[in-house]
Every structure is written in structure tokens, then in C-alpha cells.
A = this chain, B = another copy of it.
Amino acid sequence: MNNEQENMVTCLDKGFVRLVDSMGGDDAIVQAARVSYGQGTSKVSQDRGLIRYLMRHRHTTPFEMVEFKFHCKMPIFVARQWVRHRTANINEYSLRYSEARDEFYIPDSENIQFQSALNKQGRSGTVPENLKKKVLDYFNDASERSFKMYQELNEAGIARELARSILPVNIYTEWYWKNDLHNLLHFIGLRSDSHAQYEIRVYSDAMAKFVKKVAPHAWEAYEDYIINGMRFSGPEQELLEKKLPDRIIDDILMDIVYQLIATLNKNKSRDKGRLYEIYKREGGIDSIDDFKLKWSSGRIKTGNVRELREFKNKLTSLRN
């Protein structure tokens, strides 16, 4: 497998996303953050923690220090959604200068669906074969006829900028597209979402693969905190508070305290007496005997001290 192919993901029937160049990765994020927060240690394990911290607290500027440049080919209707992300730099193939090429997007049979009743902008349901066939016939017919007319006008010498007006929005265009990681992640968050149109999601997912390769820690943090994050509004929290018995919240809190102690102990080993002291200070309520029992059970998950503390705070604020 050559290098060209490694950096290329095919998209839809005739399109692609190709990583042309990139500047920096996880290390550049950490490097920039360390200018802001002063120097400091920099073991790789700490890099990951710092990146997660930055993501969780929306300290977005260090992510802007990484840059990606892609060469993409996609139908015009996809380009029209894409171009709305205004921080990117773009150079697009111009149909004023150059001739259009005979390349049109024809959907796969499985992606032909009905207008969704629930999601006013999406699609759903299974379309019968004969209707699918009609859709494909119409796509092919509209594409071929308009291109034939375009070609004829072009050969007669009509201005290209005018002749191209009759071409449908499923014709392929291409561009160079350059953006920083923060804004690229924002793009992916919106365009890889299940509410985004399938045809742009394919491109967004392709770029996500390259992000994962170039800046794996940043990608993991983005997935954990943004993509898989769940937000409860003020009014929703009120309802949660009213119905969530404090004892349930307390159960979860106690679990978190154990995870916290286990994590501290993993980072720097201590004897059980000292651990119990910390346990109490963190709000633990078990007796020393219960503590030792649970501790010896050896099944406590470890995590990240800072992340666990923040979770504790969030939960505590939900108690009545």
C-alpha cells in the first residue's frame, strides 16, 4: 500500500478526502498550553491528562495550534453545507476558468430513503424497489442530459460561467481545504452527528480518521467529552433533583471516592492507614473495617484524579 493511498479515503461513489499536509499533533497542543500555564513536567502520560483537561474545560486555543490541509472531491450540494464553516481557507475548482467534468453523484440504493416524519430535515424508512429505480433513473437522466447540453454550449463557445448554470448540484467539484484542529473538531461534531445529511457525514467521518491518526489524544478527549457527552438543561436538572433520592447520589459519590483513593494509590503507593485518612478527608463514610474489606476486594477501577474530583462536584450539586 503506497503512501498516496494511506492518506486518501474514498467517499461516496466518486469523491475522496486526501490529507495533503498537517502541522503539529498532540505535542503541539501541549507545547502551546505550556506557554500559557508556564512550563512544567511533560511525561507522555501527563500530556494525555493535560489534553483531556483542556478539552473538558473548553480551553480551545491550544487546539488551534495544529493545522490540517485536505484535498477533497464532493458534490456541489455537499460543498454548499461545508463552506458554511467560515474559519477554513479554501481554493476550489472554478467553472468560470475550467470546463466541468462529467462526474455526478448517484446515490447507493441503500441511501435512498423517505423524508423523515420526526426529523424534519432527515430521511428514514425503506423505499420499494420500483421507486428506488425511478430515483436512480432520474438522477442519471438529469445528470446526463444537462451535461450533454452543457458540452454542446461549451463547444459552441458560450461563456463557461454561463453554461455551467444548467448543471445540477450533484456534479462533483473539488477543493483544497485548510483548517485548525479546534475548528475541524467543531466541524466533525456537527457534521458527523446523526442529524447531519448522510452525504456530508461520509466526508466528516473521513477527516475524523485523519485527526485520530495525527492527534490521537485530542481525538479521544473530543469523543469522551463532546461527542459522547450528555447535557442536562437547568429545567431538566430540577426534575432530576426532585426525583433522584439523595441516597442514590450518595451511593455513586461513595464509589467515586473509592476510585479516587485507588487512583492516588496507584500514582504513589501508601499504607492502608494513610489511605483511610485520605478517604475520610475526601468524604468517605465507611468504617475502617469496611474500608479495608472493600479495598482488599481489589476490584476498584482507577481513573484520573482531577476528572474524578470534578465528577464529585457535579453530582454533589445535584443533591437536595
Q: Which residues of A are interface residues toward B (Cβ below 8 A)?
A: 21-24, 28, 31-33, 35-38, 56-58, 61-62, 64-65, 67, 69, 71, 75-77, 79-80, 83-84, 86-87, 89-94, 96-99, 105, 107, 111-116, 120-123, 127, 131, 134-135, 138-139, 141-143, 145-146, 149, 152-153, 156-170, 174-176, 178, 180, 190, 195, 197, 223-225, 227-237, 239-240, 243-245, 248, 251-252, 255-256, 303, 307, 311, 314, 317-318
Contact of A143 among B61, B120, B166 (CB under 8 A): B166
Are A21 and B21 touching (Cβ within 8 A)? no
| CA of A139 to CA of B162, assembled, Å | 10
Give the number of copies in the complex. 4
Beta-carbon nearest neighbor of A223 in chain B = B234
| CA of A76 to CA of B75, assembled, Å | 14
Complex A-B: 27 CB contacts under 8 Å: A22-B23, A35-B92, A36-B91, A38-B94, A57-B195, A67-B67, A75-B165, A76-B80, A76-B169, A96-B121, A96-B122, A97-B121, A107-B162, A113-B158, A114-B157, A116-B159, A122-B161, A135-B162, A139-B165, A146-B168, A166-B170, A225-B233, A229-B232, A230-B231, A232-B232, A243-B248, A245-B248
Contact of A121 among B64, B94, B227, B318 (CB under 8 A): B94
Q: How far is the CB of A12 from chain B (nearest CB, A)?
A: 11
| CA of A67 to CA of B256, assembled, Å | 45
Query: What B residues does A233 contact at CB under 8 A?
Result: 56, 224-225, 228-229, 307
Chain B CB count within 10 A is highest, among A120, A161, A317, for A161
Are B77 and A61 touching (Cβ within 8 A)? no
Q: How far is the CB of A117 from chain B (nearest CB, A)?
A: 10
Query: What B residues does A166 contact at CB under 8 A?
Result: 138-139, 142-143, 168-170
